[in-house]
Amino acid sequence: MADKDFPGWHGTTIIGVRKGDHVVVAGDGQVSMGQTVMKGTARKVRRLSPGGYDVVAGFAGSTADAFALLERLEAKLEATPGQLQRASVELAKDWRTDKYLQKLEAMLIVTDGKELYVITGAGDVLEPEHDIAAIGSGGNYALAAARALIDTDLDAEGIARKAMGIAADICVYTNGNLTVETIGG
């Protein structure tokens, strides 16, 4: 889609942090259109439980597109219980090859407490280095902050919250209204 066709929606900030045996996914609540904040309390981090298998997912991009992808991921997880990597790869393959899915504008961070992945519409299933993944408008700010904090005494949630606070201070498309989900341990 060309920039001139895109209505000016800006993403969000989502971060996934693994430290010890816990993984935290945190996301802000801001939805912006151009220079306007449309909503400050959106919930962009969700817990999925297909067949009793817990997965936490955070999304940046179009909400409707992300929900379509989360439904597909949930179906893949039901088909491959306990195999997040396989389900993620299957979703990425579908996303890359299906004409309907190719138009979806979103990115996902997913974790089952053991594995942590970023899934993109380009067919990528990326396992982040340093046990930290971040996506969205403020993703690079949150990533840099979390990398600086990973060797401190803060736990995964403390790192995620502090990194998101730093991103919210820098990125105008990110706010401090967080949804935080912890998994593992």
Residue 4 maps to a domain = no
Residue 25 maps to a domain = yes
Of 177, 178, 115, 185, residue with least CA distance to 156:
185
Residue 3 maps to a domain = no
Beta bridge partners of 136: 13
Map residue 56 onto helix, strand or coil: strand
**Averages of pLDDT over each 10 residues, the chain, 185 residues:** 45 93 96 87 92 90 84 93 94 83 83 95 90 96 98 98 98 95 88
Residue 127 maps to a domain = yes
* DSSP classification of residue 127: P
12 is catalytic: yes
Q: What domain count does the chain have?
A: 1
* Residue 29, both tokens: 């609540």
Domain residues for the domain of 93 are 9-184
Of 51, 61, 127, residue with least CA distance to 89:
127
Residue 35 maps to a domain = yes
Residue 100 maps to a domain = yes
Contacts of 30 (CB under 8 A, 6+ apart): 12, 37, 39, 40, 42, 173, 174, 175, 177
> Cα(162)–Cα(42) distance, rounded to whole angstroms?
19
Map residue 101 onto helix, strand or coil: helix
Class of residue 129 by CB neighbours under 10 A (exposed 0-12, middle 13-18, buried 19+): exposed
* Residue 21, both tokens: 């045996």
Q: Domain holding 166: CATH number?
A: 3.60.20.10
* DSSP classification of residue 52: G
Cα dihedral across residues 81, 74, 129, 58: positive or negative = negative
Question: Which of the residues 12, 13, 174, 182 is marked catalytic?
Answer: 12
Of 120, 117, 88, 116, residue with least CA distance to 104:
120
Buried b (16+ CB within 10 A) or exposed e, 151-179: eeebebbebbbbbbbbbbeebebbbebbb
